[in-house]
Amino acid sequence: MSSNSAAAPSGEGARKSPPPVSLGKPSLRHRLESYYSLVSPPSIADPAKWRSNFESIYEKYGGSVDGETKLARKLAKKYGGRVMLLVAPPHRSTAKRGVGDGGSSLPAGRGEGKRDESHYELDEGRRGSLVLDFASSAFDPIHALRA
């Protein structure tokens, strides 16, 4: 009888990489679980209760930068500012032009088959960071392509 023959059930021990930081539901859930694991572990101890609480939180604050910012401020006020909830940055395409401004994403003089790709500019924090972790907010895609 070998003690090495017992294998952990699938899913245990194998860590999934976190979802990328975005305004999506899986991202906010992961960020909130990470936050609560540091400031208030009992808040996420009961999975069924946590799922219900998360749904309420997402309904009220999820899906927008403003909502997540309000949530981060509320949590900082409740639990203190030592650990802050990571807020997703605004989507690059909405940062350059107003949402619902009615403007076309195609610059004047461009043909119908061409698209404005200016929203693909790298943020200053990413340019030259040499970070290859896709989940990192400092991920450097140029370095990844060169590696």
Model pLDDT for residues 85-121, shown as the tens digit of each residue: 878 777 654 544 444 444 444 444 445 556 555 556 6
Residue reference for tokens 């992961």? 30
pTM confidence score: 0.51
- pLDDT score for 24: 82
Q: From CA 29, how far away is CA 38, in angstroms rounded? A: 14
Average pLDDT over residues 56-70: 89
- Residue 49: band (very low, low, confident or very high) from pLDDT cuts 50, 70, 90: very high
> Cβ-count burial of 53 within 10 angstroms (0-12 exposed, 13-18 middle, 19+ buried)?
middle
DSSP letters, 35-48, are HHHHH-GGGGTSHH
- pLDDT score for 141: 76
Indicate if the pLDDT at residue 48 is higher than 50.
yes
CB 138 within 8 A of CB 129: yes
For 130, the 3-state DSSP assignment is coil
- pLDDT score for 51: 93
CB atoms within 10 A of CB 86: 17
Mean pLDDT of the chain: 73
